[in-house]
């Protein structure tokens, strides 16, 4: 039986890509903000319903650059332990201290009350993640930021295309960052973007991604190489044409999973939220060993033996990893909910190309 991986990249038809590659080869302009780059940047802004978007080379450099762009050069940044490690690495790379706050059991996103409790005179910013693409409580986080004079950067790596009451989730906070990695709903193989809320900030971010160059002879700041090349921009342009279909296919997988798993004692699935246009980026299941009768790790291993490769996103917690484990905020007592859900979570295979038989094979691992 063929293996079923947790995700599989959305890829353009090779023939169409070949035509665009021929064009790139003919023009001999292969990177540094070329024609396809500019087209993709404009089309993405339009598709996502945002005004200011800068394309980047992946989803990590935007996080690092966002802190730079907001002039956060010292102090603490409150963040979540329940994410991919890149979220905290971006804080560390800026010489800042991550301060972990606990998350909500309902969706794994930062708990606003715990954010407020973690604020000290050294706090400069809040860096939450819309984990699995489910929106954080942006209203409460915005109010806390306003009250304490803090910046908010949303790591929206999972939240491509998510809207709340018709408005793009990416317009919340001061800056949102996206990942277009191969494993994401929309991908450019490797890639990413930053969404911000003024032309002035976009200009700054555009300089930052190109070493800080304003023109041939002027460097306005300590920039980085965060540029996307023409080949990946071409992949992005082609994938953008098929992403709606891919999201629809993911939605029907999610609906089948939910229908079969909802109500099984000891299994918890996340439901769609009213007013939210979801992207079905991940399908986490939370397994309560006592009630379900098997631990998450037993299920994970049994699935693997059947060729079904779920993933424990996000276990271990970021706060358990080398550079962070010694921080006071990384203690288990500070993060009881995050620890609980990290022990319970298993992300089921979720992508546009899963067949009905594949979905059944995944379900059989949990229901039989």
Interacting residues with ligand T4K (CB under 6 A): 5-9, 58-60, 83-84, 86-87, 129, 155, 157-158, 179, 181-183, 192, 309, 311, 313
User: What is the widest separation between alpha-carbon atoms in the chain?
Assistant: 67
CB of 11 to ligand T4K, least distance (A): 9
**What is d(CA 265, CA 250) in angstroms, rounded to the nearest whole number?**
25
Residue with the CB atom nearest ligand T4K in the bound state: 59
By C-beta, is 7 or 109 nearer to ligand T4K? 7
- Return the number of the residue (8 or 39) whose C-beta is nearest ligand T4K: 8
In this complex, which beta carbon is closest to ligand T4K, that of residue 92 or of residue 309?
A: 309
What are the contacts of 331-337 at 24+ separation with CB within 8 A?
Answer: 334/100, 334/101, 334/102, 335/81, 335/100, 335/102, 335/103, 336/102, 337/102, 337/103, 337/104, 337/105, 337/111
Q: Please, what is the minimum distance in Å from the beta carbon of residue 316 to ligand T4K?
A: 13
The tokens describing 52, both together, are 């200011």
* H or E segment to which residue 10 belongs: none
Q: Given the complex with ligand T4K, which of 6 and 136 has the nearer CB atom? A: 6
Minimum CB–partner distance for residue 106 and ligand T4K (Å): 18
Q: Whose Cβ is closer to ligand T4K: residue 64's or residue 269's?
A: 64
Q: For tokens 């790379």, name the residue.
A: 93
> CB of residue 83 vs ligand T4K: minimum separation in angstroms?
5
Least distance between ligand T4K and beta carbon 334 (Å): 21
Q: What is the dihedral sign for C-alpha 76, 77, 82, 87?
A: negative
Query: Which residue lies nearer to ligand T4K by CB, 182 or 337?
Result: 182
Give start and end residues of each alpha helix (H) in 149-284: 199-208, 230-261
CB of 84 to ligand T4K, least distance (A): 3
Nearest to 61 by CA among 248, 194, 199, 254: 194
Q: What values do phi and psi take at 281, rounded to 5? A: -65, -40
Query: Is the torsion defined by CA of 287, 292, 296, 302 positive or negative?
Result: negative
Q: How far is the CB of 10 from ligand T4K (least distance, A)?
A: 10
């Amino acid at each position: 039986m063929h293996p079923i991986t947790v995700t599989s990249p959305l890829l353009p038809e090779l023939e169409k890509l070949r035509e665009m590659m021929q064009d790139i080869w003919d023009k001999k302009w292969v990177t540094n903000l070329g024609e396809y780059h500019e087209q993709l940047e404009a089309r993405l802004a339009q598709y996502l319903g945002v005004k200011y978007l800068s394309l980047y080379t992946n989803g990590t450099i935007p996080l690092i650059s966002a802190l730079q762009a907001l002039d956060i050069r010292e102090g603490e940044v409150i963040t979540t332990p329940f994410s991919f490690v890149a979220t905290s690495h971006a804080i560390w790379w800026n010489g800042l201290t991550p301060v972990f706050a606990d998350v909500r059991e309902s969706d794994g996103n930062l708990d606003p009350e715990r954010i407020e409790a973690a604020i000290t005179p050294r706090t400069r910013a809040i860096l939450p993640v819309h984990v699995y693409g489910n929106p954080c409580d942006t209203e409460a986080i915005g109010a806390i930021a306003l009250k304490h004079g803090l910046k908010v950067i949303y790591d929206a790596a999972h939240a491509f295309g998510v809207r709340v009451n018709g408005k793009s989730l990416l317009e919340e906070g001061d800056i949102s960052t996206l990942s277009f990695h191969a494993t994401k709903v929309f991908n450019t193989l490797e890639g990413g973007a930053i969404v911000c809320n003024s032309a002035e900030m976009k200009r700054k971010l555009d300089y930052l991604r190109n070493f800080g160059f304003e023109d041939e002879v002027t460097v306005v700041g300590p920039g980085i190489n965060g540029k996307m090349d023409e080949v990946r921009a071409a992949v992005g342009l082609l994938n953008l044409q098929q992403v709606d279909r891919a999201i629809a296919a993911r939605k029907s997988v999610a609906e089948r999973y939910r229908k079969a798993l909802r109500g099984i004692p000891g299994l918890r699935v996340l439901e769609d939220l009213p007013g939210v246009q979801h992207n079905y980026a991940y399908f986490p299941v939370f397994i309560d060993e006592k009630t379900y009768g098997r631990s998450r790790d037993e299920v994970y291993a049994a699935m693997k033996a059947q060729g079904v490769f779920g993933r424990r996103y996000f276990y271990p917690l970021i706060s358990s990893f080398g550079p962070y484990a010694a921080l006071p905020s990384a203690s288990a007592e500070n993060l009881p909910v995050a620890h609980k859900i990290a022990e319970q979570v298993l992300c089921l295979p979720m992508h546009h190309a899963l067949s009905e038989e594949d979905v059944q094979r995944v379900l059989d691992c949990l229901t039989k």
